[in-house]
Amino acid sequence: MSVAEPRRIVLFRHAKADWPEVPDHERPLAERGRKDAAVAGRKLADTGIPFDLALCSTATRTRETWKLAVQELPHRPKTVYEERLYEASPGELIAVLNETPDDAQNALLIGHNPGVQGLADILAGRSEADAKDGATREFHPAAFAVLSFTGSWKSLEPGAATLLDYWDPSE
């Protein structure tokens, strides 16, 4: 794999969660979330991106989202469940992505808002002030953004990527 070839990263927000009397980390998907996760998986398959790696938060709702979505993909990528993705800021998410091995050409990150939306904005070169002013769309549950960048994963930084596509189950 050449670092000169474009890499793709998909930032995927977990599907709609339920609100039972459990700690936030343990919240499961709602019925609508289970349906949207499977639809999102089909839409991910439609992108044609051969994912090498999936980084998934350890929260119940992200694990359930991934379990339903990955069933729709033609190839199951290596999956790493990463505690640091739970409640992570965009900067913390970049730090995790910077650790991705360069033999992974395309990666998927399944996480939470506001970190996932903030990361999409920042990687695509939008400032936090622009995002607060409504310059970008809200990342609804089960939405995902496809971004592309060139270079090693260690070189991934604010403004380094281009937004290629965005999908939202509510649209």
For the stretch 51-63, pLDDT in tens is 999 999 999 999 9
Q: What is the pTM of this model?
A: 0.93
Per-residue pLDDT of 70-126, as tens digits, reads: 999 999 999 999 999 999 999 999 999 999 999 999 999 999 999 999 999 999 987
User: Six-digit token pair at 19?
Assistant: 């609100």
Per-residue pLDDT of 138-168, as tens digits, reads: 899 999 999 999 999 999 999 999 999 999 9
Sign of the torsion formed by the C-alpha atoms of 143, 149, 154 and 160: negative
Query: What is the predicted pLDDT for the residue at 149?
Result: 97
Smallest CA-to-CA distance from 80 within 111, 50, 49 is with 111
Query: What is the predicted pLDDT for the residue at 128?
Result: 52
